[in-house]
């Protein structure tokens, strides 16, 4: 014969069932209800940056302040019900006005952050890259440049030079806010290693250079040549001059590291005393002056077999190459009507 539960236990059971059903109802409502009241025309998404190490209370406050959620209580309640209080990830997020609270939390839990597609042009210097990424709010430009020249960081990445200049491969990258300057620099150096010839050291030795010198030479080629077809010719001029112990006289080396926007190179620039100015010193500069493309690296390893010692810009993206100083002087008069006289005797 079945026995019935005491009245007090029956009452407790009913109460627990009611609480459970209420919790289920609240959770179902919170998950499916839109996070915001209907917009009056604002259909554009909202971009929010969640700072690293932000607690759930801070995240709720941030989302509420920018209008992504309309109730901090609802957000916190749903977070606790889902067991997500310690699983919300920092980063930059995009939220649309019609997203439900479940969708907002799901994005934060999964770390589905905004990805920025950034293209680094060939021939950009490290400073150019820092300014570009800082403009996208992806790095602190000053910290980026400090790391580029940080000896311990450069050694950690296995770069043979004094800085990372030349090894920040120009390419299209997919970056997120909060990655940090170190991670972005590591990604660029890793990309350089992936695209550079695997036998770079051996090929460099065949030419009587080391790998770092080849990268340095490639950076000069990158800054001088616009046409891929001319890169091996420019490389040949530099190699021929190195063999004769002639100054390379490459204009871009004279202004490397000079602060301020790009401008026309003058005779005064060519007389500027810096370790990089190949008008004042024989041989290669101490390191790259830009970040070269694969085409320039290949040209530095495979110079054309020609007897050119000079080239001058024809102002259409191409150059005129000469074997003798007399031929070069004629070409300068023809193609360069520059009052400062710096037609580039070696370039």
pLDDT band at 63 (very low <50, low <70, confident <90, very high): very high
Pair 291, 168: CB distance under 8 Å: yes
The pLDDT score that the predictor gives to residue 11 is 46
pLDDT, tens digit, 9 for 90 and up, residues 241-268: 999 999 999 999 999 988 777 778 888 8
pLDDT, tens digit, 9 for 90 and up, residues 172-214: 999 999 999 999 999 999 999 999 999 999 999 999 999 999 9
The pLDDT score that the predictor gives to residue 29 is 46
pLDDT, tens digit, 9 for 90 and up, residues 2-18: 444 454 444 444 333 33
The domains of the chain, with CATH numbers, are: 46-114 (3.30.1490.480), 116-195 (no CATH), 200-335 (no CATH)
Kindly state the DSSP code that residue 283 receives in the 8-state scheme: S
What is the chain's length? 347
pLDDT band at 103 (very low <50, low <70, confident <90, very high): very high
What percent of the chain has a predicted confidence (pLDDT) above 70? Answer: 84
Kindly state the DSSP code that residue 259 receives in the 8-state scheme: -
d(CA 48, CA 67): 10
d(CA 176, CA 141): 16
Pair 259, 269: CB distance under 8 Å: no
Token look-up 């041989």 returns 283
Residues 6 or more apart whose CB falls under 8 angstroms from that of 201 comprise 210, 211
The pLDDT score that the predictor gives to residue 56 is 96
The pLDDT score that the predictor gives to residue 338 is 52
The pLDDT score that the predictor gives to residue 70 is 92
Pair 339, 333: CB distance under 8 Å: no
Pair 148, 162: CB distance under 8 Å: no
Pairing type for strands 319-322 and 310-313 reads: antiparallel
The pLDDT score that the predictor gives to residue 346 is 57
Kindly state the DSSP code that residue 88 receives in the 8-state scheme: P
Q: Which residue in 182, 175, 181 sits closest to 156, CA to CA?
A: 182
């Amino acid at each position: 014969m079945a026995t019935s539960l005491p009245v007090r236990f029956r009452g407790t059971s009913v109460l627990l069932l009611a609480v459970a059903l209420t919790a289920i109802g609240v959770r179902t409502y919170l998950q499916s209800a839109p996070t915001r009241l209907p917009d009056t025309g604002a259909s554009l998404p909202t971009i929010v940056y969640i700072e690293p190490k932000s607690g759930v209370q801070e995240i709720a406050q941030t989302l509420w302040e920018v209008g992504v959620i309309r109730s901090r209580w609802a957000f916190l309640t749903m977070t606790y019900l889902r067991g997500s209080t310690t699983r919300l990830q920092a980063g930059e997020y995009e939220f649309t006005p019609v997203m439900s609270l479940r969708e907002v939390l799901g994005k934060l839990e999964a770390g589905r952050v905004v990805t920025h597609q950034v293209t680094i042009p060939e021939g950009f210097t490290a400073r150019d890259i820092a300014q570009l990424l800082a403009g996208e709010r992806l790095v602190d430009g000053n910290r980026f440049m400090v790391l580029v020249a940080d000896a311990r960081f450069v050694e950690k990445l296995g770069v043979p030079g004094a800085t990372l200049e030349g090894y920040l491969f120009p390419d299209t990258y997919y970056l997120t806010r909060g990655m940090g300057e170190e991670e972005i620099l590591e990604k660029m150096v890793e990309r350089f290693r992936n695209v550079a010839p695997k036998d770079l050291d051996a090929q460099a030795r065949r030419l009587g250079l080391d790998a770092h010198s080849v990268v340095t030479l490639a950076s000069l080629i990158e800054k001088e040549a616009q046409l891929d077809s001319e890169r091996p010719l420019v490389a040949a001029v530099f190699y021929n001059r190195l063999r004769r112990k002639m100054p390379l006289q490459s204009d871009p080396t004279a202004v490397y590291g000079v602060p301020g926007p790009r401008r026309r190179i003058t005779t005064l620039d060519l007389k500027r005393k810096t370790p990089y100015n190949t008008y004042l010193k024989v041989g290669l500069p101490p390191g790259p002056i830009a970040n070269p493309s694969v085409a320039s690296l290949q040209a530095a390893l495979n110079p054309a077999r020609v007897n050119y010692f000079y080239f001058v810009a024809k102002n259409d993206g191409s150059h005129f190459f000469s074997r003798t100083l007399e031929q070069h002087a004629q070409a300068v008069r023809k193609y360069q009507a520059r009052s400062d006289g710096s037609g580039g005797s070696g370039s």
